[in-house]
Structure 1
Amino acid sequence: MATNGQRLYSVLTRKDVGEKMMKEIDQISEVFSLSKSDAIVILTHLRWNSFKVSDRLGDDKERFLAELGLVRVSDMSQENESIACFADHKTNSDGVGDYLVSTPFCSHKFCITCWRDYLNELLEKKKNNNEEDGAVAVLCPNPDCSAPVGPDTIGKLTEPVKEMYESYVLGSFMESNKDSIRWCHAPGCDYAIERHEEDVLVEDGETCLDFGVICLCGHNYCWSCQLEPHLPVTCENAALWCNRTLDVLKNVAWIAENTKPCPRCNTPVQRDANSNLRFMTCICSHSFCWRCFKSEAEHKRRGKCAEVKPKNADSSEMYTHYLSLWESGHEGLEKSKSDLNSIEENVIPRLMECVSHEDTMALKEAWLLMVQCRLVLKWSSVFEYFIHEYQRLEKPFVDHLRRDATMTMLRHKETVEKVMNLAISSGDFTFFKHKLDTSTTTTGNFFHEYVKNLLKDALREVKVDSSENASVSYWLCNRCKVKNSWSDRQCKMCFVHLDSPIPPPHPNVAFDNN
């Protein structure tokens, strides 16, 4: 999504990435009068840090090249050649080793098969180990030789070996520049995403790329953590929500719907399958009325039975409220995705018969914006959840912003549907395109400001309430000993507050010591 007419990232093809890499290689090669092969060896050795490469070559070029073994062996005579092949190598009819290859920096010759097996094993090992420490140079197969292997040597080998090495060099370039350019991690996707560092919004160390990254393959994800885009929620809170909090809320919602707290010990009690059964007996042996919470004896004495709201009802309703917001937001998001797929499959092909490709892309962009807006609204419910009790004054403001954003998104949806239907019926899209573009721009800017306001006004406070020096990532309830996240101000199981003292045991509760 464009923000005020600017994109915060670009989608690149593999060819585009290769051209960016070659631009760095050519620059080092031209400035310091090096072969491209030597430039690649140096750049991979220094992890594609052009500034460090320039410093080392500028200080003492010859010494640095010697350190890397980039000193060519000259006037090599046949007698000095060393055939170090691991297996029987092939020669042509006159006995000359046409199939033997050595680096320009040593005299150790190996056959094509040995080179292939060596490089295959070495590069696969480097790939699996994901080495990030120091140099990642490929050296001569001879274990006692430190001569580097570059494209000038690889070029003498077979095509599969060349492709293997080129993939290694490109992977080295990507790994070294992973802060600014990364492959899309969707299965089978060959695109890369490059962020525009000068336009990136940074808040408290969190990198924000618009409303997330959308690859040309259709995959949508957060640049920082690879979850689905989750603004205005931080990556830390988004991970906590997905990994733990959401499941806990579902459990709390089930407990609230299917149980009531015992009026004596506050333990959740589930009603028996017989829904007409009035009196429940807790594990503490206390028997109480399901409607009025009076004890069985008191209930029979007084006779009157008025339904009473459980003490923890407000807390339960709060948790189920956020769960309901999340689930309805998710349903709306999935519906918008389904609508977008339907538009791409059924509507756009029909419009392409009478309108330009640019116009159909404008329609697709308008529908895609709705998906992104739905995504922001979905995660806004999580943002509200992580506003702690001491920030309740913020909640009405945040809720007001979310309602305004929802209405803006619905108005955009109504406009897009109306324009699309008129374009289909009239066969003329040009007349309606201005209205569509205006709605898309206005809505996109509104949601940008919506997220920006939340980040600016509340993000510093809406953090997981935990200390970096804490020995554990949870607190134990004093009553039921259930583990709770530091973002929870009261126990998810029995609703006892975080700061509540240990309750004394009820005098009538007997414990079995056997």
Structure 2
Amino acid sequence: MSDVSDDDYDDFEQGSDDDRFDDESYDVSDYGDNDGFEDVQPENNKLRPYEVPFEVLSIQDIQQRQNAQIDQVAGILGLSKQHVTTLLLHYKWNSDKLLEKYTDDPERVLGSAGIHLSENGGIDDIMYEIKPVPGFMCDICCDDSDGMETFAIECEHRFCLSCYKQYVSQKIMDEGESRNIQCPGTPCSLVLNDSAVRLLADDTVYARYHTLLDRTFVLDHEHLRWCPAPNCEYAIKCDDVSMKDLNSIVPTVHCACGHSFCFGCGLPDHQPCICVLVKKWIKKCEDDSETANWISANTKECPKCMATIEKNGGCNHMTCRKCKHEFCWICIGQWAEHGTSWYNCSRYDEKSGVEARTNQAKSRASLDRYLHYYNRYANHEQSARLDKELYLRTEKKMTQLQSTSGMSWIEVQYLAQASAVLQECRRTLKFTYAFAFYLARNNETHIFEDNQKDLEMAVEHLSELFELPTQELATRKVEVMDRTAYCNKRRQLLLTDTAKGLQEGRWKYQSDLD
């Protein structure tokens, strides 16, 4: 039923050390403080069914794309780069929408974006100046000192330089505004462009302003997303994925910082489970996991209204506080039929309790089913954390192997590779249980569970090997490498089959995907 039989493992024992990782290469340096190991795409650049093409962008790359888009639109509209930047910010960097609207009604577009064209039609960048104005009094601070420096944009709402600087600094540093910093005059809707901000802001504020511009550029583009890892400044570009595709693909991407995450929802890599089911599962776990075990062990449902009841005394005569139904705690049958024999209940098979017991059995079965998948999900989550801690000790083992077995640093890298694959497989297994919880039972589900079982067995075997004493690891290097390659292959087969099923619409779910 599964894609690879147990005999296939033996095939990995026949080659030399050099060809055991031909299927996929690894870079141990990629495995830092990330959540898992980064899949390196094959050298022939042929993507597997569960992979999506993506590009990692640095801040410099983002700024180059901004400038290229500004230059392109400025060439088409014949406006200055300052005005085009303001327009693109107003239209959330959607060039097509901007060009369409501008062609229909340029004056309305300029007005809505807070732009006033100069006498030259806005072709050249505007040069602002700071100057004193005789007899001027600032409307903000009411200062009328002689020689006081003032500033104004095209609307000529003039304020003292100190107040204008403080206003711009507050907008950028406190409010995080970069898209729409309007003139402080009332009423006025003109927007301060880059030249005005540069003149009014100090280096720290201006740097923050451009950081916010970079953020808006990424956030406004459907096919760009910031890496969610802490302190990471990279963005991911993924053109082939849109929100409507997320029920048929799990778009996992790998940042240059080493963090793997889903481009669709931003959560850490959750292959093979699709985004909507992962969100449902996480919410269900947060709501239910802490109380489910206690409820299962200490409560029963009222046979009439199905309210959950806790027994708070020794008597088996129960009265539901919600519907006032009286029943026997032992057999769930009606209490009236027990007469005076409450202390020796023998009514379990009587008709009066059959339906009640059936309903309760269904409720308990549903809870038991959830606990089955949750416990295995949580176990792999805990094992992954322990495996990650184990990786932190791997370098020490590698150093010991060098000194005791005479191996070089390159030769002991198989331990780092094994640790990386182990954690990646743990993460995949964890989300297979979230996915399986929502799958409807059919032949496809049986195949999925067979692949899941094969991967789980391979992971446990590799995990046992990895925890062997250092000296024994040296003598079993080939076996560790074989097991590592086999685990990785099993993971690929499971993800490939699941991805094909998503694309072909083969998977049926017990829950709506709304």
Question: Taking structure 2 as the reference length, what is the TM-score of the superposition?
Answer: 0.64
Residues 272 and 302 (structure 1 numbering): CA distance in 2 closer, same or farther, change over 3 Å?
closer
Partner of 2:410: 355
1:149 aligns with 2:192: yes
Instruction: Name which of structure 1's ranges 56-65 and 106-115 shifts more when overlaid on structure 2.
Output: 56-65
Q: Tell me if the contact between 1:191 and 1:215 (Cα under 8 Å) persists in the aligned partners.
A: no
Distance 1:258 1:414 in 2: 37
Using the TM superposition, give the Cα deviation of residue 101 of structure 1 relative to its aligned residue in structure 2, in angstroms. 4.3
Of all paired residues, the percent bearing the same amino acid is 16
1:320 aligns with 2:403: no
Amino acid at match of 1:355: I
Q: Tell me if the contact between 2:88 and 2:95 (Cα under 8 Å) persists in the aligned partners.
A: yes
Using the TM superposition, give the Cα deviation of residue 379 of structure 1 relative to its aligned residue in structure 2, in angstroms. 0.8
Partner of 2:203: 159
Q: 1:183 aligns with which of 201, 207, 226?
A: 226
Please list the CA deviations of residues 440-497 of structure 1 after superposition, one character each: whole Å capped at 9, or x if unmatched.
255234223225426744556543398xxxxxxxxxxxxxxxxxxxxxxxxxxxxxxx
Q: 1:331 aligns with which of 370, 379, 391?
A: 379
Q: Tell me if the contact between 2:370 and 2:437 (Cα under 8 Å) persists in the aligned partners.
A: yes
Q: Tell me if the contact between 1:10 and 1:195 (Cα under 8 Å) persists in the aligned partners.
A: yes
Instruction: Name which of structure 1's ranges 424-433 and 188-197 shifts more when overlaid on structure 2.
Output: 424-433
Q: Tell me if the contact between 2:56 and 2:235 (Cα under 8 Å) persists in the aligned partners.
A: yes
1:172 aligns with 2:172: no
1:371 aligns with 2:426: yes
Distance 1:42 1:300 in 2: 81
Superposition pairs for residues 70-469 of structure 1, below 5 Å? 70-71=117-118, 85=138, 86-87=140-141, 100-103=150-153, 105=154, 110-123=159-172, 127=176, 136-143=179-186, 147-157=190-200, 158-177=202-221, 179-185=222-228, 188-198=230-240, 203=245, 206=247, 208-210=249-251, 212=252, 222-226=262-266, 235-243=275-283, 247=287, 254-260=294-300, 270-271=310-311, 274=314, 279-283=316-320, 286=326, 288=328, 290=330, 295-297=337-339, 310-311=357-358, 312-343=360-391, 345-348=392-395, 351=398, 354-355=409-410, 362-363=417-418, 365-384=420-439, 387=440, 394-395=441-442, 397-412=444-459, 414-415=461-462, 418=465, 425-426=473-474, 436=484, 439-453=487-501, 456-457=504-505, 459=507, 461-464=509-512
Q: Tell me if the contact between 1:207 and 1:224 (Cα under 8 Å) persists in the aligned partners.
A: no
Using the TM superposition, give the Cα deviation of residue 48 of structure 1 relative to its aligned residue in structure 2, in angstroms. 0.9
Q: Tell me if the contact between 2:387 and 2:419 (Cα under 8 Å) persists in the aligned partners.
A: no
Gaps of at least 5 residues in structure 2 are: 1-37, 42-46, 121-125, 400-407
Distance 2:495 2:105 in 1: 54
SS of aligned partner of 1:68? coil
Using the TM superposition, give the Cα deviation of residue 281 of structure 1 relative to its aligned residue in structure 2, in angstroms. 4.1
Using the TM superposition, give the Cα deviation of residue 315 of structure 1 relative to its aligned residue in structure 2, in angstroms. 4.0
Q: Tell me if the contact between 2:254 and 2:260 (Cα under 8 Å) persists in the aligned partners.
A: yes
Using the TM superposition, give the Cα deviation of residue 174 of structure 1 relative to its aligned residue in structure 2, in angstroms. 2.8
- Count of matched residue pairs: 439
Question: Taking structure 1 as the reference length, what is the TM-score of the superposition?
Answer: 0.64
